[in-house]
Amino acid sequence: MTDTRLLFDIERAEGCRLVGYPDGGGVPTVGYGHTGPEVYVGMTITQTQAISMLSADIDEAAAQAQTLPEWSALDTDCRRNALIECIFNLGEGHWKAEFPKTRAAIQAQDWSAAYSNLLNSPQWVRQVGAGRVNRLAMYFRDGWYPAST
């Protein structure tokens, strides 16, 4: 079962588009950031399909996150959800390849370094926006959700 805060954060960050479009990297995307071989620009889905795709995508990202060595170091739901959202957004391969310093900092529970290293990705910041990257970095650093969001 998907954590309601994780669902809220991903829905808010992704938005929902019921007609397929190229994302910031040119990847065909539909719904709440859903990609895959079946997705094409111009594809039309329903809101119900978008929610179903989102749920499956979050489940897949969570399953992948739980196999990573850094998973066992995550000591709060907030930090676990941050990793799941990173995998959801980037994919496991990009997470592993592009964030080795962040991953090492998480494994060491050096939350300040995890924060700094996650922010040190200009390409990802350009693609998804500084607000989302900053939010996820703060989740890793602080380990809790701010009261105002």
**What is the CATH number for 96?**
1.10.530.40
Q: What is the pTM of this model?
A: 0.94
pLDDT tens-place string over residues 113-142: 999 999 999 888 888 899 999 999 999 999
Domain around 107? 4-142
Band (pLDDT 50/70/90 cuts) for residue 25 is: confident
CA geometry: angle 94, 96, 102, nearest 5 deg: 110
Dump pLDDT digits (tens) for 50-104: 999 999 999 999 999 999 999 999 999 999 999 999 999 999 999 999 999 999 9
Instruction: Establish if 148 belongs to a structural domain.
Output: no
Q: Evaluate whether residue 147 is within a structural domain.
A: no
Domain total in the chain: 1
Helix (H, G, I), strand (E, B) or coil at 44: strand
Whether 44 and 21 have beta carbons less than 8 Å apart is answered as: no
Residue 59 lies in a domain: yes
Amino acid, single-letter form, for residue 77: D
In a domain? residue 149: no
- In this structure, is residue 103 part of a structural domain? yes
Q: What is the mean pLDDT of the chain?
A: 95
User: Is the residue at 24 inside a domain?
Assistant: yes
Question: Quick check: is 88 in a domain?
Answer: yes
